[in-house]
Structure formats: structure tokens, C-alpha cells
Structure 1
Amino acid sequence: MNRLSRRAMLAGSTATLALAACAPRTSKDEPAAVVAPELMDGTAMAAAIAAGETTAREQVEAAIARAQAVEPQINGIVTETYESARSDASGLLTGAFAGVPSFIKDLIDWRGAPTLAGSRGLEGHVATGDNVFASKWRRAGIVSLGKSATPEAGLISSTEPLSNGPTRNSWDVSRIPGGSSGGAAALVAARVVPFAHASDGGGSIRIPASTCGLFGLKPSRDRLPYSEPGAAAPPIQISVNHAVTISVRDSIALFRAAEANDGTYPLLGDVQPLTRRLRIGFAPEPIGGTPLHADTRAAIEDVAQLCRELGHTVVDYTLPMDGQKFMDSFILYWASGAAMFAQEVAVFSGKPVGPEIVEPWTLGLAGLAMARMGEIPDAIAHLQAFEAQYAAFFDSLDVILTPVTGSPAIPVGEQAPDRDFDTVMDSVLTFVAYTAPMNAAGAASMSVPLAWSPSGLPIGAMFSARKGDDGLLFELALELEAARPWANRKPVVTAI
């Protein structure tokens, strides 16, 4: 899930990858016909474009063809910007990913495209400029094909906005792809593009990565830009921008391309597969006391065993925290964001807050915040104090290993935003059982696609580290990717 950057929205690698041969080159104005589109990772695609083995226009046309092939089944795109993508691809592009096609999550501005945040109340909002993070991707030469689907304001762990209908998981279309970066993950999993923009305010990179069999790292707070310059800082900045990817090396290169470079952290150095052995705390129990699905338990225990086989020390660990108190505080803070969003949509639309402009789930959260407004300062104080508490987890550990979610992907409709509020809340608390602490702490955390259920659903493993230890996680991810490659595992619905 992701907490919306409202002010900005309203103001304006490995050898295991299928590095397929590109279509024969033609002129920029006449891209090659795409008969059997294949997909490289973004790093390889950018290199092929730079070497003149293909063109940006050819790669954009191939990606559009892939999108058109699978979109009727997954419904991951809110707005298509194919003509502007063709124009961009035909122009002069520079940067680490010059000419590589992708999608921007429909919570941030991309100049000239609508920003609807999954909300019917924002119809007509078109961005006049780029979000601060989006500007990094534009400078990297990335070509946006459009906006990917998100639940309203990114407020829930399933992507089923009433404005666009449910996005479906390409591994099983009866299941959700997760949220709030569900459209991004569905499109990458179906091999439409090698990576897509995602954001994470409570698990929104890691949850869709887990349910869709992708790699997804949530950066440490302030490693990559999020808030617009001059914007008032929230009490706790829980949200971050980054991506969901097929390869780890794409995630690393995208991280480098978007680094804030403001002196808060040193820039990411050379990243190679991890060589030193880690002390890993294995903590499979959900923080809020909800049940853990048997398939997820088996999967995470298998990953713990993989880490042992790689020589890491894996120790049983229980997070020393009051999980129920934490989740209550986090949900209340989350609900206060929903209340702010509802008010700002009312201002934009000129209509009163109500079901005509915002969804029942958003209204329910807003109502919760209003009913418990006097408790919000204490909730914020608890979450602010948690950052130091989280840091102490690593006095004797390098990394913590947990599941990402309480179960594999749940059925479409279970978290539909127009269902009974309390019923949906129970589902959310059971499903989103691990990810929020890292948002409150501002810490680095990643979902790695290392296991699948007996029925074929991906189950991500979450490795979390100290704030600022993004590089360590990338090194571990490269080691895990080499030990148990995933890039050639393709879902039922795939464009290649």
C-alpha cells in the first residue's frame, strides 16, 4: 500500500534472463513488425539500443504489442499514452535506460498524462509537469507507455478500484496481483515491460512483487526522492518510490539512476553478489497475531533452509515489539491520510465528501480517523519511537527474514473497496501481516521470488535490514538470484 503524495498530485541480469534476439532493424520511422515479441531485461535492452542492435522505437512498438496481447486479461493499465511514447522514442534519448519502455504508477505525475490515483473524483486531472521522482526516470531515458493501475489513493493491498475495475494476477486471473502497485506488477509479471515504477507506503512494492513473482526492493527513507521540493513534511514519511523488476540488476541500476544525491546517504557503490556470510533472524510469525497460511509457512521455511545451505547463520527470532499496538497505530495514521485525501478530492471535484467521489473503503478509513482523532497524536508518537526500536533489532543480526504476506495471493473481490468495511479490514490485517514496520522505521526491505505454492502461486521472501543498508540487500539478492534463478519462470498469462 502507498500513502499518496497529495500535494504533488493535485498541483499539477543475469545470464539466466532470456536475452532474446531483437527484431531486424528498420528506420526509426518504420519500426519492425513484431511477430513473436521477446523481452530482455531493461539493462540488456538499453545496451542493445545504445549499440545500434535495435532502436527505442522498435522496443516501444514491441512493448505496445505485448500490452495489447495481455491487457484484456489482466487490466493493469489505467491510461495508455502510446502516441506520446512513440514520439518520445523517435527523439533524442539519453541516460542509463535510454529508450526502454515502462509504466508509471497512477499516483505520481508524468507530464501530459492524467493522474487519477484510482479515484473517480479526480477525473480530468492532467499533469502539467513531472513528479520529482518521475523526472529522474525521464532523465534516465525511460519511455512511459502510460499509467498503471492502483487502488484509490493506494489505500489497500488489492488493486480493485471502482474507477477501473480489478487488476488480475497473471499467474491466476482469479487472484489479486496485490496493491497498491498492482498494475505495475501485473504488467511486469506478464512480461509486457522489464520493470515498472512502484511505490511503497505499507508494503506496496513488496506485496505485489511477492504475489506476482518479481523482485521488489523498498528503499530506505530519503534514498530516492519522494516529496516535492518545498512540500510540508508529514509527521512520518512512510512512503518511498522505486520499481518492481524481473532482474535484480535492473533494480540496482534504477536505484542509481534515481538516487537523491543530497548528502543524506553516500551514493550506492559497486554491488556484487554477497561474499560475506550473514546472521539472519528468521521470524515467520505475523506481527499482529493473525494466522499464517500453510503454503506460506512451508515456502518461507524452504527459503530459510536455502540461506543455511549458502552458509548463512539462520537463527530463530521473534520481533521484540507489541505487534497489535503497532498495527493499531499504523492503521490509524493510515486512516488519517485517507481523511486528508477525501477532503482534497472534494476540493478538486467541487463536490462534498461522499460515495459519489470516493470509495466506501476510503470513506470507512476517513470515518475511523474522525472517530478516533484524539488518539492520532499518540499513534504518531508510537510510530516515531518505533524507528529506534527497529534499529535495535539489528544489534545482533544483519538481516531479518519473514514472509511478505500472510498467504499467497487472495481471490479477486475479497478486498473489493465496496465490501463491508470491517470484513475488508480483517482481510487486510491478515494479508498485510509483515511489511508496515519497515515503512515506519524508514528501513530497507525487499521481496525476493524464491518460492511457489503447490498450486503455482508465487510466494516472496522478505529480507529486511537497517535503514541505509540497501546495498547489503542488493548484494544478498544477487546471491539468491544466482542460487535460485527465477527469470525464466513465466505465468499463465504472458506476452512472450
Structure 2
Amino acid sequence: MTEFTRRNFLRTGTSIAALLPFTTACAPAQILSASTTPSDSLDGVRMAQLIAAGDISSLEFTEAAIARAERVNPQINAIATPLFDEARAQAASAPQGVFGGVPTFIKDLTQWNGAPTKYGSRTYKDFMSTRDSAFAAQWRKNGVVVLGKSTTPEAGLISSTEPVLTGATRNPWDLGRIPGGSSGGAAALTASRVVPFAQASDGGGSIRIPAACCGVFGLKPSRGALIQARPESGIDLSIKHAVTLTVRDSAALFAACEDPNGGLTPTGQILGPSTKRLKIAFAPDPINGASLDAETRDGIERTAELCRSLGHEVIDWSMPVDGNEFTENFLLLWASGAAGLVDQAKAQFPDTDITSLVEPWTLGLAAEFLARQDQFDAAQAYLTAFEPVYHSFFDDIDVILTPTVSKLPPAIGVQAPTRPFEELRKEVVDFAAFTAPMNVAGSASMSVPIQWTDAGLPVGSMFSARRGDDGVLLSLAYELEAAQPWIGRTPAMLG
């Protein structure tokens, strides 16, 4: 079977697509004191410290994580491929590195040597990776113990994780709702406290959207910030990183994967908040005219007020962009990726009915690309020109504050890839109305879980900055985490 690479897949070269202090079921009780605080919780940083000191072994943490996975996965369905025996063997070998011995999951769009990489697609259900991707190789160097591959929608092409191949992944906070996508499995496993962090990627919101839906922290780093393979041509939308329970895990993973040749001034490891006060542009309304639900609007307004209370200057603002024009151009670029997948599936299985290989949503996007193909060069030119336009916004501001998504996570089935294409297209475009501009611009952006509804559902607050200002966002995230901690919140399903 032909390897499913982003260069093969996309016609343009575009890349799309602190643990709560554990109970005794997850770690020896004597390690956890009554004085434990969020900054000293068993996130990945703390777990690595305990392993390095010999207080708890990697195998103990790994067995505890496997036990938790076996308990919760029947409810959330977030594991595409378990690798438990391989993880035990790796943990027993005392892996070295910044996160030596810490258990995690790799997203099923990322190649991990010796593991299946299904890309959420029936086309690739039997594909076995024989190498690490560039980013995965860096995680392996950092010593993580991989418990398996986390679920993703087909080719990461939609904002929910309900692929035909593995079935719907469910939100730990409400099992009837979606966890977002495309890193939905990663976010669900992290929110369920199976692991302190999980590998994720973001080509149009795929770190930030599931982070918002599942109440975890999700930073989309700047283009060029972290080590990964990049396309030789086209618009490079996607970057790999993680969803995490604490800001410091995200910051430490960022520092451990930073690319010295990415064209940016190195950020290094951000260890805490900054004293600098920021000018924050508050833009709660989607640029494409979609409407916010009441709970999302209430949550983002509370976030703006929190920022004011912390001494930041918050101004009312709206992005000076024709949102519908941007959305239609972006969606055409996105659809080109779907067309590439359909072409690959047909080439690899010429005698097989394409509908048994590729989902209706992907086929609908591919059909849209073919119908609008004469507009494609103009769309690429528009999106290429958008990057300097976006960065000009920051001549007078430091950060943009918006919701991450336009409404609370919808019910399972609302974004199922089997729904009629035109209905689903509007649902997805309106739900994910905020995230794509930062991918096109290559800028830093993060979803922070500081707001919750009265019913206990997370509401993501998205902060976005210039390309290269990842450190500004991480410093702000530390401040928000300290002001309004989220680590003490756990899904009711955990008991």
C-alpha cells in the first residue's frame, strides 16, 4: 500500500489535517500529599521528575494509565489502536529523555514506527508505519511511552471525530456530545486523565477545537516553531504539538521539540507568567456571520472581564476581513486535500467501490473541489496574501481574544460524516468559524479552558498572536491558569 503522506495526499502540499492528582488507582498514595497544588500535580513534567528520581517507575505509571484506559475507553472510544504490550516493554527499558517514561498517545494521523496508521480511513485500515514522522521521532527522543494511537476523523477533514472506520469518539464531560476534531481522541483521553498529554495536530483548528470541547489546554504553535516535515510547495497549514492538562506540559513539550532552523527566534522554555500587560482585542463574533450560542457568549465575555481584572487592556474589536470570502477560499483549499485522498484511494483500489473506502463528507468535499477547480489558483493567491494582512492587525494590539468554537459541543451525529453534504458543510463551517485564519497566517493560537457552563461543560477561550509570539501566549496561559484553575475539574464519568 502506498504510504499516505501529506505530500501525496494534498494537491497543494498543504498539511491539513498537570494531571489532576491521581487517586490510588493511578499512583501510589504516598506521593500525593494534601498540600498538592495544580502547579505541583502529576502532570507529565512531574511524572518525569518522579521517574528520574526513582520514586515511581515508568512501568508503574504505564500500568496505571493502561488500567485507566481499559476502564474509560469503552465509554469514550478514543483509541484507534492499543499498543499496551509494546508500551509495557518500552516502560520496562527505562526510556531516557525530557519526558522519559511518561505515558501518552500518538494521533492516528502521525506515523509511529511499528504501529498502524489508519488516518481514520477505511482506505488505510491495513497500513503499517515503518518509520517515525519527523515530529514523532522527536517525541521518541524525548522518551515518551506510547500506549497507542488516538482516534481521528478521516484524514482530519472535519471538526468531529466520528469516522466510519472506528465509530464515534465521545466527550468525557457528556458522552452524548462530540469531543471535537480532528484531535478528538487525543483530547478525550487527556480529559479522561488516562494520560497527562497526548500528541495532536492542527491544520484548521484541530488542536484548539477538541481542547475547547474537552476542557483541556491546546496550543497551536507558530509555523516553523517545532520540528516537523514541511511541504515543498503550497500553503503549509498544519503543525503538530499536543493537548495537555497543564500549561507547563505544553511549554515543556514545545521547548523539547523546538526547531532551531524554523526561521523564528527561539522561544525556549516558558516557565511562568510575564509581568507585561497586554493590549487584547476582544472579537466575540465570527467573521463569517455565524451566531454564538448564549453560553458561549457568556463564557467569552467572562474571559474578557477576567483579563481586565488582571490588568490587561481589553478593547472591542472586529477582524477587518470579509469572512465569507475568507471561508470560501479556505474551504476550497481544504477540499483539495479531500480530492487528493479520493484520487489515492481510486489509484490503490481501482476495482473497489469508492464509497466503501471514503466517507460521504470526503467525497462531498472532493466533488466541491472538482466543481470549483477553476477558482483554485485564485484561492491560493488570496490565502497567501492573507498572512501579511493578518500580521498587520498586530501593529496596534498584542493578542486577539475570541471563542474557540461558536457553540457548545453538539450531539453525536450532528457532524457525522455520513450526513448530507450541504447540511453538514454549513454545520461545520459555522461551528469552526474562528480557527482557520491562524493556520493560514501561521500564527500562534491557543484554546484555554477557563470557562464552564452551569451544567459543567467547558467553553474554550481562544487567544491568538503573531507568528513567533508563542511565548507571549504561554506566559498569558500560565497567568490565566493561576487565576482560574481548571485542573480540579474532572468528568463525572471518572467517579
8 A contact 1:188–1:246 mirrored in 2: yes
Name the counterpart of 1:254. Answer: 253
Which residue in the other structure is 1:238 paired with?
A: 237
Q: Which residue of structure 2 aligns with residue 183 of structure 1?
A: 185
1:120 and 1:357 in contact (8 A); partners too: yes
Deviation, 1:266, is 2.7
Cα contact 1:20–1:40 (8 A) shared by 2: no
CA distance 1:379–1:263, shift in 2 (3 Å) = closer
- SS of 1:493 mapped into structure 2: helix
Structure 2 portions without partners, runs of 5+: 11-17, 31-40
Q: 1:225: Cα distance to partner?
A: 2.6
Q: Distance in 2 between matches of 1:161 and 1:492?
A: 25
| Aligned mates of 2:169, 2:22 — CA distance in 1 | 28
Work out the CA distance in 2 between the residues paired with 1:172 and 1:310.
32
CA offset at residue 352 of structure 1?
A: 5.3
Question: Do the aligned partners of residues 118 and 19 (structure 1) sit closer, same or farther apart at CA in structure 2, a change above 3 Å counting?
Answer: closer
Shift of 1:233: 2.2
Give the CA deviation at 1:375. Answer: 0.3
Distance between the aligned counterparts of 2:178 and 2:366, measured in 1?
A: 24
1:457 alignment partner AA = L
Unaligned runs of 5+ in 1: 26-38
Query: In 2, are the aligned partners of 1:110 and 1:127 still within 8 Å (CA)?
Result: yes
Superposed displacement of residue 173, structure 1: 0.4
Residue-by-residue CA offset, 1:106-140 (whole Å, 9 max, x unaligned): 00100100000000111211000101100010000
* 1:216 maps to 2:221: no
Question: How far 1:353 moved relative to its partner?
Answer: 6.8
Specify the alignment match of 2:80 in structure 1.
Answer: 78
Report the CA distance between 1:190 and its aligned residue. Answer: 0.5
Structure-2 separation of matches of 1:460 and 1:420: 28
**Distance in structure 1 (CA, Å) of the matches to 2:353 and 2:375:** 23
Q: Secondary structure at the match of 2:417?
A: coil
Distance between the aligned counterparts of 1:178 and 1:415, measured in 2? Answer: 10
| Percentage identity across paired residues of the two chains | 53
1:455 Cα shift?
2.1
Who is 2:264 aligned against? 265
Kindly state the Cα deviation for residue 390 of structure 1 after the two structures are TM-superposed.
0.3
1:111 equivalent in structure 2 = 113
How many Å separate the matches in 1 of 2:201 and 2:388? Answer: 24
Structure 2 CA distance for partners of 1:453 and 1:24, relative to 1, 3 Å: closer
Q: Give the 5 Å matches for 1:349-360.
A: 349-351=349-351, 354-360=354-360
2:48: which partner in 1?
A: 46
Secondary structure at the counterpart of residue 451 of structure 1: strand
* Superposition TM-score, scaled by structure 2 size: 0.92
Residue 225 of structure 1 corresponds to which residue in structure 2? 227
The residue that corresponds to 1:31 in the other structure is: none
3-state SS in 2 of match to 1:485:
coil
Which position in structure 2 is the counterpart of 1:368? 368
Structure-2 change in CA distance of 1:365 and 1:253 (3 Å)? same
Alpha-carbon distance in 2 for matches of 1:221, 1:5: 19
Structure 1 distance, partners of 2:236, 2:453, is: 34
In structure 2, how many angstroms separate the alpha carbons of the residues matched to 1:24 and 1:411? 37
Equivalent residue for 1:23, pick from 11, 24, 28: 28
Asked whether the 8 Å contact 2:345–2:354 carries over to 1, the reply is no
In 2, Cα distance between equivalents of 1:351 and 1:257: 46
Deviations 1:72-115 (A, max 9, x none): 10000010011111111111411110000000000010010000
Deviations 1:420-473 (CA, angstroms, capped at 9, x unpaired): 001111110110010000000000000000101222210010000001000000
* Partner Cα separation in structure 1 for residue 349 and residue 89 of structure 2: 32
Distance 2:73 2:332 in 1: 35
In structure 2, how many angstroms separate the alpha carbons of the residues matched to 1:166 and 1:359? Answer: 14
CA contact (8 A) 1:9 1:115 kept: no
Cα distance, 1:244 vs. partner? 0.2
- Residue 104 of structure 1 aligns with an amino acid whose one-letter code is I
Written as runs of structure 1 = structure 2, the 5 A alignment for 1:328-477 is: 328-351=328-351, 354-477=354-477
Matches of 1:24 and 1:448, distance apart in 2: 30
Pairwise CA RMSD = 1.8
Q: How many pairs does the alignment contain?
A: 472
Q: In structure 1, what residue type is equivalent to 2:450?
A: L
Displacement of 1:350? 4.6
- CA deviation string 1:208-258 (max 9, x = no partner): 000100000000001113326xxx424100000000000000000001111
User: 1:281 corresponds to which residue?
Assistant: 281
Residues 248, 477 of structure 1: 8 Å contact kept? yes
Residue type of the alignment partner of 1:391: H
Which letter does structure 2 place at the counterpart of 1:409? P
- Distance in 2 separating the partners of 1:424 and 1:188: 27
What is the one-letter code of the residue matched to 1:384? T
Alpha-carbon distance in structure 2 between the residues aligned to 1:200 and 1:347: 27
How many Å separate the matches in 2 of 1:196 and 1:443? 22
Pairing partner for 1:142 from 144, 147, 150: 144
Asked if the contact 1:444–1:468 (Cα under 8 Å) also holds between the matched residues in 2, the reply is yes
Asked whether the 8 Å contact 1:57–1:90 carries over to 2, the reply is yes
Structure-2 separation of matches of 1:24 and 1:290: 48
Q: 2:163 aligns with which of 153, 161, 164?
A: 161
Equivalent residues of 2:225, 2:262 under 8 A apart: no
Alignment counterpart, residue 90 of structure 1, candidates 86, 89, 92: 92
Q: Give, in whole Å, the separation in 1 of the partners of 2:262 and 2:163.
A: 39
Distance 2:350 2:225 in 1: 37
Structure 2: how far apart are the matches of 1:9 and 1:106? 15
Q: How far apart, CA to CA, are the structure 1 residues paired with 2:481 and 2:334?
A: 34
Paired AA for residue 258 in structure 1: C
Equivalent-residue separation in structure 1 for 2:9 and 2:258 (angstroms): 21
TM-score between the two structures when normalised by the length of structure 1: 0.92
**Separation in 2 of the partners of 1:337 and 1:210?**
25
| Residues 1:226 and 1:9: Cα distance change in structure 2 (over 3 Å) | farther
In structure 2, the partner of 1:33 is none
Question: SS where residue 115 of structure 1 aligns?
Answer: coil
Q: Residue 38 of structure 2 corresponds to which residue in structure 1?
A: none
Q: Residue in 1 aligned with 2:291?
A: 291
Contact 2:114 2:128 in 1 (8 A): yes
Give the alignment partner of residue 128 of structure 2, picking from 107, 126, 129.
Answer: 126
- Tell me the CA shift for residue 9 of structure 1: 8.7
* SS of structure 2 residue aligned to 1:402: strand
Contact 2:172-2:188 at 8 Å conserved across structures: yes
Tell me the distance in 2 between the aligned counterparts of 1:116 and 1:397.
42
In the alignment, the residues of structure 2 paired with residue 146 and residue 263 of structure 1 have an alpha-carbon distance, to the nearest angstrom, of: 29
- Which range moves more in the overlay, 134-143 or 217-226? 217-226
Question: What amino acid is aligned across from residue 169 of structure 2 in structure 1?
Answer: T
